[in-house]
Amino acid sequence: MERKSLADDSSLENQPAICPVENCTAMVKHTHLLRHMISEHLDARARTLPFQLRMREVVSGQSTLLMLTYRQLIVDHDQCLAVLNWCYHNPIDLMAPQLDLPPCHQGLSSHLPVLVMVCKTTWKALLKQNEDKLTNTSSRDLTNEWGTVYIIWLVSPYTRRPIYARFGILNSQSQCLELQNRRRIRNFASRMPISQFINGLDPFYVTINEEQLDELCDSRGNQASVFLDVTIEGPVE
């Protein structure tokens, strides 16, 4: 049976979309997400990210530890912590190749770029966003009310089948806090279903309260840090 090329897929899921990095308004094709991340966000001279973005090649089941100085995150700011270039044994079946990469990154063409995203916010801001989209109250004013919460999720270009990942949080003594079990990697072109997320039905996001992080963490204040453990498991075969 002849396989339909991904390039011919005209579904909305495969249309160019706004870059998932906060304050970047570039429209990015699914085949050019890695090129965009390398050229616009990975360069140490680029000022678009307050944290140094990491890039790494991973296979299924391989764990990546990312340091998270969580108190330093900007409120309501979608932060990209890393790009994990996931290697799959049969990529043609699953996703389109990444195109126009710089020569030194050509080897990543058949990998899936997975962006590790985190956002610090409050439950109140999330509920407000859901209830009243017209009100323009800054959520900065709300950070001391209700709890501060960290939302973690992964985005990638369109894939033919859902890809799953597992998350954990570790402290410097390798004490681990398991987060909600397996989560799906989200298509970067799809929008966040906030109401589903609040109802706990959403398959993409994990949440952790600041109190939980503080309990796990041995230092306090702005330097407080934990390690986010991300493992891409792959599709359900």
Interface contacts to Zn ion, rule CB under 5 A: 19, 21, 24, 26, 40
Residue 210: phi and psi, rounded to 5, are -60, -35
Strands, E assignment, 88-221: 112-122, 148-156, 163-170, 176-178, 183-184, 186-187, 206-209
Quick count: other Cβ atoms within 10 Å of Cβ 7? 12
| Shortest distance in whole angstroms from residue 76 CB to Zn ion | 18
24/94 with CB nearer Zn ion? 24
Nearer to Zn ion, 105 or 128 (CB): 105
CA angle at residue 164 from 78 to 111, to 5 degrees? 80
Q: How would DSSP label each residue in 134-157?
A: T----GGGGTTSS-EEEEEEEEES
DSSP track, 28-50: E-GGGHHHHIIIIIISTT--S-S
In terms of CB distance, is 49 or 108 closer to Zn ion?
A: 49
CB of 158 to Zn ion, least distance (A): 17
Tokens coding 162: 């859902």
Closer of 79 and 148 to Zn ion (Cβ): 79
CB of 41 to Zn ion, least distance (A): 6
Is the CB of 81 or the CB of 224 nearer to Zn ion?
Answer: 81
Q: How far apart are CA 150 and CA 213, in angstroms?
A: 9
Task: In angstroms, give the least distance from the CB of 182 to Zn ion.
Answer: 28
CB of 80 vs Zn ion, minimal distance in Å: 9
Instruction: Kindly tell me which of 116 and 206 has the beta carbon lying closer to Zn ion.
Output: 116
Q: How far is CA 103 from CA 54, 99, 221, in A?
A: 19, 11, 42
Q: Which is nearer to Zn ion, 22 or 214 (CB)?
A: 22
| Min dist. Cβ of residue 44 to Zn ion (A) | 16
**Distance from C-alpha of 117 to C-alpha of 83, rounded to nearest angstrom:** 9
CB of 28 to Zn ion, least distance (A): 7
Size of the chain, expressed as the number of residues it contains: 237
